[in-house]
Each structure stands twice: as structure tokens, then as C-alpha cells.
Amino acid sequence: MLNRGWTLALSMFCSVAACSACRADTLSNFYAGKTLRIVIGYGAGGGYDIYGRVFAEHFGRFLPGKPNVIAQNMDGAGSFVAAKYLYNVAPQDGTTFGSLAQTLPLDWAMSDQHRDLDASRMPYIGRLLANIELGTGLPGAAFTSFEDARQRQIVVGATGASTPGFLLPTALNRYGGAKFKIVSGYKGSNDVLLAAERKEVELIGAIGLATIMVRNPQWVTQRQAPIMYQLALSRNDLLPHVPALAELGQTGEGRDVLRALASSSEIGRSIITTPNVPPERLAALRSAFNAMMADPEFVRSMESRKIPLSPLRGEEVDRISRETLATPKHILQQVLGLSKGS
């Protein structure tokens, strides 16, 4: 015969189990038969579109009720059109998501133009990919490390004045003691790569690690190319010999500015949702995202399509976002000055 303590413990266990089953049933009833939507803040064909559509293709089967998920492009204003839709118009119940600019927290913190939303109230579900940008030369380049850029002028190819290929060498000139000469105006990283092959420039100011791992993995795995810096908060496991951006700052303020710039790469291709999603539903969304990222069938599908993954839990992406939003104003002003070329 069970004593009173065991009876109480068993009763409590059964109550917890019943509550868990009830929550699962409630979530399943809510999502069953629904069509969820992910709003992609850019046009078709780019990285945000690819990862947004991957999310739409697979996510529903990991949620209770197995709802359908559709993708919709809503480009404009560096994804702020989509962000404002999520914040002000979309249902705030865990049925609408976004694939938005990785710089959303930094852009919102720096600008006074988008005060009709509050980026701190938009939680992340999780990250599919850290978008790490590299400053690299080609194999056989006449330099080996960032220290060379402190000793002599190195010509860098970049696209527009507000792009990473321009911002990173500009910031490293100002805060890292580099002597980069920046040639901007190329249409994209492919054009900068061709310019390097033609020896018009010596360094590609910013090219994605994921891009290199698809096209020229030996540059990384065999260290064939001289990679000077990586836009990341800490060194990537594939690049333990390459300094993360903030390491190169020569003053405390310089390191803070470079760290603020690097925060966006860690957010990368993440999925965000609306404010006011009930906590229990947000937890279910994050749990489903984590299950998707750990699912062998999903991982094999991405590998076969050469779509790289570097997942991170939504809670961790939120932490990075909060730290970015808490960046002191004087540091944000320095970052803003870089983006304006001042």
C-alpha cells in the first residue's frame, strides 16, 4: 500500500502529465488547419528569400497540428516595410513570421525614422545561418595577415558605401590601424572577386563564408587564401586563425564600435515573429524550430541543396539583439558615421 508521500508525489506527477497533454492538445487545436505566413523583407532569389522559403517548406511539420506555411515577399526600406507590417498589421498570435535584415536591431537603434515599431518587442524563433563576412585575398596574394595591412597600403574592392565590403575596411582604417585603400562601386561580391583576379584590387572587402565554402572551400579548409578578418563576435570554428572584428580594435571605443558592427552577422538569417505572442505559444514555436534544425531528414535536404546551416536558439538570438539595442549612443553615432562615410 502506498504511503501518503508517494500518493501525493504520484498525484502531482499525474497532474503535470495531464497539464502537458492539455497544453499539447491546445496548441494542436490552435494550429491544425491554419495557414501560417512568413514575410520576407527582400525580393526573390537572395539569401533572405532562400532561408525564408526553406523555413516555410519545412517548419509546419514540426509544430503541433502540422499547419501549412507560405512565404510572401514584401521588400522595401531595407526590410523595414516587412518589419512594420509584422509589428503593426499582422496577427500577433504566433501565426506570422519574418525573414528580415540581420541588421534590424542595429538599424533601429541608430535611426529615429522607424519609431512606429519597437525592435526589442519582436522575439526571434531561431537562426538558420550566421552570415559571417570575410575580408580575403586570393591564393598567392602578397600578404598573409591583418598585420600586413597595418604596415602597408592594400587595395580593397567594395560595392556601395553602406555595404559590409566598404564599412569593414573603413572601420578597420579608423579603429584598427589599417591602411586600406578602398575602391568602391562594384555591383556585387562576384564583380569584386573578378577584379581581384584581374589584379585591380588585392582584397575582397566582404564575401560570405558560406559562399566561399560552396565555391572555394579549400581557401578555408586548407588555408590557401589569406583571410584578414571575419565579421563575427567570436572566431568561427572553421577559422580559428582569423581574428574576429572586435579583436582588431586598438582602443576600448574602437572595439565597441567593431563589436556593434559584428553583432549583425551573428543574427544572420534568423526567423522573427510579432510582439505579444503568448509565452506558451512562443516556447512551442522555438521548440519546433529547434526540432527542425536537429532533424536528420531536414539536414540531409539542406546538404543536398548546398544550403549551409549554423543554427542558434531563439533565446540566444534575442540576447544578441538585446545587447545590440543596449549599445551606448555615442558608439551608435560612430557606427552611423561609418555608414555615411563621415
CATH number at residue 109: 3.40.190.150
Let me know whether 258 and 142 are in one domain: yes
Query: Following DSSP, what letter does each residue of 187-212 receive, concatenated?
Result: SSHHHHHHHHHTTS-SEEEEEEHHHH
Q: Residue 280 in contact with residue 133, Cβ under 8 Å?
A: no
Let me know whether 151 and 216 are in one domain: yes
pTM given for the model? 0.84
pLDDT higher than 60, residue 12: no
66 assigned to some structural domain:
yes
60 assigned to some structural domain:
yes
Task: Give the residue from 233, 264, 295 where a domain finishes.
Answer: 264
18 assigned to some structural domain:
no
Q: How many helices (H) and strands (E) does the chain have?
A: 14, 11
Mean pLDDT of 261-270: 94
Mean pLDDT of 292-321: 96
Ramachandran assignment for 132, one of left (phi > 0), alpha (psi -120 to 50 degrees), beta (any other): beta
Q: Cβ of 171: how many Cβ atoms within 10 Å? A: 27
Domain count, the chain: 2
> Residue 115 phi/psi, 5° resolution?
-80, 5
139 assigned to some structural domain:
yes
Let me know whether 258 and 272 are in one domain: no
Q: Residue 114: what pLDDT?
A: 76
Give the torsion through C-alpha atoms of 230, 236, 237, 241, to 10 deg: 30
Mean pLDDT of 224-242: 96
Residues 6+ apart with CB under 8 A from 113: none
Task: Give the residue from 201, 233, 264 where a domain finishes.
Answer: 264
217 assigned to some structural domain:
yes
Q: Residue 49 in contact with residue 99, Cβ under 8 Å?
A: yes
Mean pLDDT of 273-290: 97
Task: Give the residue from 239, 264, 289 where a domain finishes.
Answer: 264
pLDDT higher than 80, residue 2: no
Q: Which of 168, 306, 163, 268 is nearest to 227 (CA)?
A: 168
- The amino acid at 192: V
Whole-number percent of the chain with pLDDT over 90 = 77
* Cell 583576379, located at residue: 197
The span from the CA of 73 to the CA of 40, in Å, is 5
125 assigned to some structural domain:
yes
Burial call 256-291: b when 16+ CB within 10 Å, e when fewer: bbbbbbbbbbbbbbbbbbbeebeeebbebbbbbbbe
Let me know whether 113 and 40 are in one domain: yes
6 assigned to some structural domain:
no
Domain around 218: 133-264
Query: For 39-48, 50-59, 138-147, 228-237, which range has the lowest pLDDT when averaged over its residues?
Result: 39-48
Q: What is the CATH number of the domain that holds 174?
A: 3.40.190.10
189 assigned to some structural domain:
yes
